[in-house]
Structure 1
Amino acid sequence: MHSDTGCGNRPARRPPNGPTGRRPRHGPVHQGDRHAVQAVGSTGRACAPKGEDPPKGYVRYPEGKVPKTVDDTWERYWNTHVIDENGTVRKAGEGE
């Protein structure tokens, strides 16, 4: 698993990469043999091997709301929303 260090071509979320300090606006969120998972109670994410349950402290994205590429609708959405320990989706608070 790769925790918040990027999956596939997705760069680390913090700190921003590159000379401009901005993330590239292209490429897959995760590699083909992995799937993206969301950290519980945080906007953090990771990649887990396909066919395996998410590691402790992570959950799968809700069906139909999985980010596929950097800067797609769902990738932007999950930058501002979290899934809590009960599976409830809510807006992220400051510092989450």
Structure 2
Amino acid sequence: MMAANCDKAWFGWPCDEKLEKLRSAFASAVDENEKKKIAYELQARASGYYPFIMTGEYGVPTVYGADIEGFNPDAPYAYYWNIKRKSK
């Protein structure tokens, strides 16, 4: 969502060469400390330039019974395999 690749972008997308240079530098960096430094610079640039505007968030409430096993409520997405009703 931080793409701002000017004439290579789809029409209506932002154009910011500095942001693109930082994105390229992050992708090619191999040292973790260097990546962290570039990530901070990227966030600072994006916070001032606003390549996108977040219009909302959503969450999916999940309810399950105590007699269900194999369900992982901490998974980022609901999946429906390996779920069984506990034997009585």
Return the TM-score normalized by structure 1. Answer: 0.24
- Higher strand residue share: 1
Higher Cα radius of gyration: 2
Using CA pairs under 8 Å that are at least 6 residues apart, name the structure with larger relative contact order, 1 or 2. Answer: 1
Return the TM-score normalized by structure 2. Answer: 0.26
- Higher helix residue share: 2
